Chain A
Amino acid sequence: MGAMIELVDVVKRYGDVVACNRLNLAVDQGELVTLLGASGCGKTTALRCITGSLRPDGGRIIIDGRDVTDVPTHKRNIGVVFQNLALFPHLTVVDNVGYPLRVRGVRSAERRERAIEALRLVRLDGLGGRFPRELSGGQQQRVGLARAIVYEPTVILFDEPLSNLDAKLRLEMREEIASLKDRLGFTSIYVTHDQEEALSLSDRIAVMKDGVIHQVGRPTEIYAEPRTSFVAEFLGNPNRLTGVCVERIQDQVVVEADGQRIVATDASGTLAIGDRAVVYVRPESVRIQDGDASPDETTLRATVVRSAFLGDSTEYILALSDKVNWHLRLDHATRLAVGEEVNLAAPRPGGRAFALAGSPVDGSPGVALGEQ
């Protein structure tokens, strides 16, 4: 079974800037793969190469076995949901949704029927006669969705569709998209900078930076086993410790910084004793140690610097040394006072270590190696 969407060595340049640098990606049928990254990483450019509004400078784009690199947009038969909706302001909702059908020569009666059905699927019954400007943002977004699914394309692309909606609406629409995907079974590429969106919606995520895909994998994989330091930093809000590798036990390393030691998995696979390394630790894996450490934990000493009450929990900033601060979120069972010295128990291994190059061991981040 071949992939439904394939990007093969796709390159796109804007003057001197390489927006897409030999991208390779294969999306299987029924999958939703997200291109995740900050603005300027090239994810939107990549998407527009797939829709056909941009022509890549190199590489091929294959959709459903067909090389569409030279095929104009209107012949690609894909669906797109835009960030700013792009609804036709001069047409009613039902005409908006029916437009792709009209272009394909579908007769008026059938067109209307299918448009109404699509509107029903996105739960917008009864608003067919209105104009886009009369609808709320969320409703408009649903119209955009309906228009993209009405002609049953096998591939649907999402270009940051939820960025312009407020938080509550975003959650609602996320649900909507997920449920539509389950029901209709289309293949899709989703572009966003919001990691929560990416984690919750995707079958797989491709994390991008500066035109390069750092890692592709299932959300759980990417979160728990980032393969580059960029990915490790981008997802979640990890704690960081920069030090020197002092011991190596198979695929784990012991990193020491300012007298503290932590055991971590060697993500780059190449760390040797004496190398500088940065370790990323997920805050939720660290606990306050009362009493002795258990054998599969290491202890770190820290002082409470600040606390912030968040309602259902409290976030504590703890200083491991005068250069390193970690944050920890605790429920109200444990109360710490500012200035208190505590022991933190990190699991063994308790994070991912990456080789560090080009900066002294002082806790400051440097350029991390370990690309895919």
Chain B
Amino acid sequence: MAVQLLRRLRSGGPGTSSARHPGGRAVTAALLVPAIAFLALFFFYPILITFGTSITPADGTGVTLEEYSTILSSPKDWGVIALTLGLAVGTTVISVLLAVPLALILRRRIRGHQALRLLVLAPLMILALVSALGLLILWDRNGWLNLLFSRLLPFSDGPLQIDYTIPGLLIFYTWLYSPFTILTTLSAVEGIDPNVEEAARVSGAAPWRVFRSVTLPLAWPGIRAGSVLTFLLAFGAFSVPLIAGGNHRPLPVLIYTEAAVFQNFERGSALAMVMAVVALAAIALYTRFSSKPVRGSAG
């Protein structure tokens, strides 16, 4: 038995010496079992249940795609999917537009940049629900921001209605989920060798040119990584639209409402599956088409 184990070790690939890996693959497997079992039980099994429920007809026998066909043929449901996607895309775009200038400024290490970096983290550490509450109060019809705007913009008739609207959700989502994009963008931008940008300037490129042809292409992988996260979070946002969406219900809220409130588990599960598929498709498309941000190789 020991001989067999040793022989297995020898074929275990680079870096597999018996001193480094006592017990070989048996031990490795043992180490991995808890995680695999846990995931199987508390993640994959629930998904299986969800899938199973989504294809179970009302009388409980056989298999049916009725729920799916209902969803796919309902303009209202498509509207919900569009809303969810639109919010996610919008949030991502705004986050990137916010992240890039911010990263460029923070890179210069002006006074107080440490505190600023911490501030960027703040939305991540606070419960989304609490942030949503704060934003709700802030943007309330009688809240501070409306008071400010009504003084600054005298031509508007009455306060802006932000809470419970789609633009409002966009603002809230951005507030909550842009930090991921900001952080990775900052990290990417700081990883650029300043001498390379200096070389571009010396070669005659004006500041905007340097940004477009050197800084942006080099920072793009980082920007993209963070924006994928922001997109996923915005797509799956649940607690925020739950309390601040009003009559607008993106997919997560709809799923919950159908399943927990209306007890329509079949429809809820089907919606959940649709949501998962749409999310994965969106990410795949984004990853595929975003490897080169600038047309051509040099700006």
Chain A 99-136 per-residue mask, 1 if CB under 8 angstroms from chain B, else 0: 11011100000000000000000000000000000000
| Choice from B196, B205, B210 contacting A89 with Cβ under 8 Å | B196
Chain B 172-185 per-residue mask, 1 if CB under 8 angstroms from chain A, else 0: 00000000000000
Across the interface, do A87 and B202 meet the contact criterion of CB distance under 8 Å?
Answer: no
Known: A51-B202, A79-B202. A103 touches B209 (CB 8 A): yes
Give chain A residues whose Cβ lies under 8 Å from the Cβ of B204. 74-75, 77, 100, 103-104, 151
Across the interface, do A86 and B297 meet the contact criterion of CB distance under 8 Å?
Answer: no
Q: Is B200 an interface residue (CB 8 A)?
A: yes
Across the interface, do A74 and B201 meet the contact criterion of CB distance under 8 Å?
Answer: yes
Give chain A residues whose Cβ lies under 8 Å from the Cβ of B218. 89-90
The smallest beta-carbon distance between A133 and chain B, in angstroms, is 13
In the complex, besides A76-B202, A88-B196, A151-B203, 10 extra interface pairs with C-beta distance below 8 angstroms are A72-B201, A74-B209, A78-B202, A79-B202, A82-B198, A84-B195, A85-B195, A90-B214, A103-B203, A103-B209
A72 to B205, CA, bound (A): 10
Q: Is B206 an interface residue (CB 8 A)?
A: yes
Chain B, range 184-222, C-beta contacts under 8 Å to A: 193, 195-196, 198-207, 209-210, 213-214, 217-218
Closest residue to B216 on the A side, CB-wise?
Answer: A90
Closest residue to B196 on the A side, CB-wise?
Answer: A86
Across the interface, do A86 and B199 meet the contact criterion of CB distance under 8 Å?
Answer: yes
Interface residues on A, range: 20 to 34
Q: Is B298 an interface residue (CB 8 A)?
A: yes
Across the interface, do A86 and B206 meet the contact criterion of CB distance under 8 Å?
Answer: no
Across the interface, do B217 and A90 meet the contact criterion of CB distance under 8 Å?
Answer: yes
Across the interface, do A53 and B196 meet the contact criterion of CB distance under 8 Å?
Answer: no
Chosen A-B contacts, 29 in total, with CB atoms closer than 8 Å, are A51-B202, A52-B201, A53-B198, A53-B201, A73-B202, A74-B203, A74-B207, A74-B210, A80-B198, A80-B199, A80-B202, A84-B193, A84-B195, A86-B196, A87-B196, A88-B298, A89-B196, A90-B297, A91-B297, A91-B298, A95-B297, A100-B204, A103-B203, A103-B205, A103-B209, A104-B204, A147-B199, A151-B203, A151-B204
Across the interface, do B199 and A88 meet the contact criterion of CB distance under 8 Å?
Answer: yes
A74 to B217, CA, bound (A): 20
Which among A72, A84, A90, A98 has the highest number of chain B CB atoms within 10 Å? A90
Closest residue to B220 on the A side, CB-wise?
Answer: A90
Which among B195, B218, B297 has the highest number of chain A CB atoms within 10 Å? B195
Q: Is the interface of A mostly helix, strand, loop or mixed?
A: loop
A89 to B201, CA, bound (A): 16
| Choice from B195, B205, B207, B213 contacting A86 with Cβ under 8 Å | B195
Chain A, range 24-80, C-beta contacts under 8 Å to B: 51-53, 72-80
Residues of B within 8 A of A (CB): 193, 195-196, 198-207, 209-210, 213-214, 217-218, 297-298
Q: Is A92 an interface residue (CB 8 A)?
A: yes
| Nearest 9 CB-CB pairings of A with B | A100-B203, A86-B195, A86-B199, A73-B201, A103-B204, A80-B202, A103-B205, A74-B201, A86-B196
Closest residue to A53 on the B side, CB-wise?
Answer: B198
The smallest beta-carbon distance between B217 and chain A, in angstroms, is 5
Across the interface, do B206 and A74 meet the contact criterion of CB distance under 8 Å?
Answer: yes
Known: A74-B205, A104-B204, A151-B204. A86 touches B298 (CB 8 A): no
A51 to B204, CA, bound (A): 11
Give chain B residues whose Cβ lies under 8 Å from the Cβ of A72. 201, 206
Closest residue to A96 on the B side, CB-wise?
Answer: B298
Closest residue to A80 on the B side, CB-wise?
Answer: B202
Give chain B residues whose Cβ lies under 8 Å from the Cβ of A84. 193, 195
Give chain B residues whose Cβ lies under 8 Å from the Cβ of A103. 200, 203-205, 209
Closest residue to B210 on the A side, CB-wise?
Answer: A74
The smallest beta-carbon distance between A150 and chain B, in angstroms, is 9
A188 to B202, CA, bound (A): 15
Across the interface, do B298 and A95 meet the contact criterion of CB distance under 8 Å?
Answer: yes
The smallest beta-carbon distance between B255 and chain A, in angstroms, is 42
A90 to B296, CA, bound (A): 11
The smallest beta-carbon distance between B47 and chain A, in angstroms, is 40
Give chain A residues whose Cβ lies under 8 Å from the Cβ of B217. 90
Closest residue to A108 on the B side, CB-wise?
Answer: B296
Across the interface, do B200 and A99 meet the contact criterion of CB distance under 8 Å?
Answer: yes
The smallest beta-carbon distance between B97 and chain A, in angstroms, is 22
A101 to B247, CA, bound (A): 57
